[in-house]
């Protein structure tokens, strides 16, 4: 192909030089009859070659250009018959130039047709894969379906225009079809992730419902039964939304149901223990936010890190105290931990993305170690799958960090953290 291109460039350069010389020579009457005759014959050969190329093309513009070259060549032949060598030479060179132009048009059109065909083929394969993925995954989403249908409609219009030789319009239509297909693919990934999140959360909430139902049966308190019924209705609403493909709404209902059940579980466990448990939960949430906002700046003994380490020790003491029934001590330790974490945020807040990503990866690595031991005693099958996904995101975070892509590294580490925390919730039930 490169060789042909060089040859074409050489031919065009020579043709341009000949044309310039022809105009000058013809205007001065310097072209003899034999030269004019040989050039007319050479142009006949070029037009003949152009015909064989254009016959295989569907370009109407190329055909019109070739017809024009033939008309000009006929005039050159007439001047040659009249022994007017100057004009014969001039017109045959013009005819030759038009013949080359016709060949160029044919080849451009052929390239555009091939480009359109390949893009059509790839887009069609993408859309078929998306439809298959929706069926196999049981995914329902009106917007995703609409994007796929609109893309397929544009593909069909592109094919019709290609058949009618409107290749420019056909290419624009297939380009737009591909853009919609890309949007559909992004939508598919998002909806699939939402669906998978719904399924995992639904499994967790189902277990919480069963656990709360067992405790309420033993307690027999009317207020608790009303709350359980509310949680069951909310769960039913989540299931309906899930079945209809409204995964975002289903997640909202599941979060609401989970909150009702956790509050209910605390109430059943005893009103006195509800306050320390709530404070500890808030402290744990604050700890997560603190790790997002601070970094160690490369120093393991920074004031912020010192505060966080002390806060972690206090939180552990708080959990142990609550487990042993020492509620007042548990509350005191949790409050002290919260104060230390706020100090850590105030003294250690950084805007360095590298430090933030490194800190998050290190923290998630510690969580992964604790989850590994917990997983060995967990009989839930879904927990193992979650662990593999979490480990994959953590590995991706480390790889992106090494590539200096700190924002993506942090995002991957956050995903891993959420998955590891979900495993903790599942395995602790």
Architecture of the domain delimited by 113-183 = Up-down Bundle (1.20)
Question: Which tokens in the block code for residue 379?
Answer: 């009989």
Question: Which tokens in the block code for residue 160?
Answer: 């019709």
CB-based contact 386:367 (threshold 8 Å): no
How far from the centroid of its chain's Cα atoms is residue 126's Cα?
A: 14
* d(C-alpha 85, C-alpha 232), whole Å: 100
Architecture of the domain delimited by 271-350 = Up-down Bundle (1.20)
Under DSSP, the state recorded for 164 is T
How would you write the pLDDT of the chain (429 residues) with one tens digit per residue? 434 434 443 444 444 444 444 444 444 447 788 888 888 889 888 888 888 888 777 777 888 888 888 898 889 889 888 888 889 899 989 988 988 888 888 888 888 888 888 989 899 998 988 888 888 888 888 888 999 999 999 999 998 988 887 888 888 999 999 999 999 888 888 888 888 888 888 887 888 788 777 777 655 556 677 888 888 888 898 889 888 888 888 888 888 888 887 777 666 655 444 466 667 776 776 676 666 555 444 344 467 777 888 888 888 888 788 777 788 888 888 888 888 887 776 665 544 677 778 878 888 888 887 777 676 666 666 777 788 888 888 888 888 888 888 878 888 888 888 888 877 777 765
Under DSSP, the state recorded for 294 is B
On the CB side of 269, how many CA atoms lie within 13 Å of its CA?
Answer: 19
Question: Which pTM was predicted?
Answer: 0.48
CB-based contact 362:309 (threshold 8 Å): no
State which H helix or E strand residue 58 sits in.
Answer: none
């Amino acid at each position: 192909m490169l060789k042909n291109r060089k040859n074409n460039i050489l031919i065009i350069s020579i043709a341009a030089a000949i044309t310039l010389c022809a105009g000058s020579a013809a205007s001065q009457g310097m072209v003899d009859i034999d030269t004019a005759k040989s050039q007319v014959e050479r142009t006949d050969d070029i037009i003949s070659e152009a015909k064989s190329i254009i016959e295989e093309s569907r370009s109407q513009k190329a055909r019109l250009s070739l017809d024009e070259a033939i008309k000009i060549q006929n005039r050159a032949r007439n001047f040659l018959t009249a022994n007017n060598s100057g004009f014969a030479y001039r017109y045959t060179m013009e005819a030759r130039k038009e013949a080359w132009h016709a060949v160029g048009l044919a080849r451009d059109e052929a390239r555009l047709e091939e480009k359109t065909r390949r893009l059509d083929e790839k887009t069609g394969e993408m859309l078929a894969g998306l439809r298959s993925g929706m069926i196999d995954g049981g995914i329902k989403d009106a917007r995703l379906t609409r994007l796929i249908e609109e893309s397929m409609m544009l593909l069909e219009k592109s094919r019709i225009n290609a058949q009618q030789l409107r290749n420019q319009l056909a290419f624009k239509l297939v380009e737009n079809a591909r853009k919609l297909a890309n949007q559909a693919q992004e939508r598919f990934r998002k909806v699939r992730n939402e669906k998978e999140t719904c399924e995992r959360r639904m499994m967790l909430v189902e277990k919480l419902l069963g656990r709360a139902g067992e405790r309420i049966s033993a307690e027999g308190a009317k207020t608790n039964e009303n709350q359980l019924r509310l949680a069951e209705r909310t769960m039913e609403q989540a299931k309906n939304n899930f079945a209809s493909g409204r995964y975002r709404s289903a997640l909202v209902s599941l979060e609401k149901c989970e909150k009702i059940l956790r509050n209910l579980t605390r109430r059943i466990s005893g009103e006195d223990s509800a306050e320390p448990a709530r404070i500890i939960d808030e402290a744990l949430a604050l700890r997560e936010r603190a790790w997002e906002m601070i970094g160690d700046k490369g120093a393991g003994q920074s004031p912020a890190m010192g505060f966080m380490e002390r806060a972690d020790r206090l939180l552990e003491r708080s959990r142990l105290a609550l487990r042993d029934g020492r509620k007042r001590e548990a509350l005191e330790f949790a409050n002290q931990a919260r104060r230390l974490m706020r100090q850590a945020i105030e003294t250690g807040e950084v805007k360095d993305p590298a430090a933030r990503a490194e800190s998050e990866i290190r923290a998630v690595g510690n969580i992964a170690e604790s989850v590994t031991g917990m997983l060995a005693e967990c009989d839930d099958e879904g927990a193992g799958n979650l662990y593999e996904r979490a480990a994959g995101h953590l590995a991706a975070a480390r790889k992106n960090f090494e590539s200096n892509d700190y924002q993506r590294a942090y995002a991957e580490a956050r995903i891993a953290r959420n998955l590891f925390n979900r495993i903790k919730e599942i395995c602790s039930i």
